Structure formats: structure tokens, C-alpha cells
């Protein structure tokens, strides 16, 4: 954890869903976290994700919230709390907060050796805003709303 940031959320994800244990963030962040949690059940390339501990921290200097993740892959020890990517302002709308969280979580899942989410044509999908909607975009430009991923065939 960063010494100059304020902890504003703690949560745990398992394949059964997400449990928020503490939250001082506006509702759009919680709705976004719920959507992201749905997608974690689908389209992995590599070992299964068993457990994720989340801590969101508010950076008063930049005004951004950063979601850090400790990822546990099946049969492995938990990774440390990390978060490398883009944050979002505490008052961000749901779609912007969701893209930020998806970016940060995706990076940390990759750091422990699992690719997520995996596109139909191979390769990572990446989170973006398209017409102010949070979507996963695959390497061919096809998009799926974040929260609506299903297992690939």
C-alpha cells in the first residue's frame, strides 16, 4: 500500500462473486466492480483465477483512485498487492471507473501468468471507452460491453 494514499475500498473476489468489505467510494464504483467481477469468470487463457483481494486507494495529490490487486492463481501463492495502469477520479462516472478498474486488474492478472480476457481470435482484449460505454476490444476491433463477457467456444 502507498503511504500517502487513503484506503477507500476493500473487497474479495472468488468465482462465486465479489464481497465488498469496506467502501467509501460513490455507487458508480461499486456497480462497476460488480460488472468487472462477472467478466472474471470468462475467457481466461492459462490457469484459473482462484481468489482476488482488492484494495482501492485515493491519491489526494492527483485526485485519482487506484485499484490494487493481489491475485491468487489455482495452486499458487497469492501475488502481492500491485496496481500499474490508469486510475480514475473519485467522482468518475461508472463507465470511466470501470475501464480504470479493468485496466488495473487485467495488468495484474497478466503479471501472475494468466491472460484475461482472451478474444475469440486470440490475444488479449483491452478495456476502452466507446461512445462513453466501457467495452472490451479485441485485436480485430470487435467490442463487448464490460460485464457481458461469456465463455468463448
Q: In whole numbers, what is the pLDDT of the chain averaged over residues? A: 89
**Buried residues in 91-119 as b, exposed as e (16+ CB within 10 A):** ebebbbbbbbbbbbbbebbeebebbbbbb
Question: pLDDT at residue 3 above 80?
Answer: no
Q: How many CB atoms lie within 10 A of CB 2?
A: 12
Write out pLDDT tens, residues 45-89. Answer: 777 889 999 999 999 888 899 999 999 988 877 777 766 678 899
Q: Where are the domains of the chain?
A: 6-115
How far from 45 is each of 4, 84, 115, 122, CA to CA, in Å?
Answer: 36, 21, 5, 9
- For the residues 2-24, what does the mean pLDDT come to? 90
Amino acid at each position: 500500500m502507498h503511504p500517502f494514499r487513503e484506503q477507500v475500498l476493500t473487497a474479495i473476489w472468488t468465482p462465486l462473486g465479489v464481497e465488498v468489505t469496506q467502501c467509501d467510494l460513490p455507487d458508480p464504483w461499486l456497480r462497476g466492480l460488480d460488472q468487472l467481477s462477472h467478466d472474471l469468470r470468462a475467457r481466461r487463457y492459462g490457469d484459473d483465477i482462484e481468489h482476488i483481494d482488492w484494495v482501492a486507494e485515493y491519491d489526494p495529490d492527483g485526485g485519482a483512485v487506484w485499484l490494487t490487486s493481489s491475485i491468487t492463481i489455482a495452486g499458487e501463492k497469492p501475488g502481492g498487492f500491485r496496481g500499474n495502469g490508469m486510475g480514475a477520479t473519485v467522482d468518475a462516472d461508472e463507465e470511466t471507473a470501470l475501464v480504470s478498474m479493468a485496466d488495473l486488474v487485467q495488468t495484474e492478472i497478466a503479471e501472475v501468468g494468466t491472460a484475461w480476457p482472451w478474444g475469440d481470435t486470440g490475444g488479449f482484449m483491452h478495456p476502452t471507452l466507446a461512445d462513453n460505454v466501457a467495452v472490451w476490444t479485441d485485436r480485430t476491433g470487435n467490442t463487448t460491453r464490460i460485464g457481458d463477457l461469456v465463455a468463448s467456444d
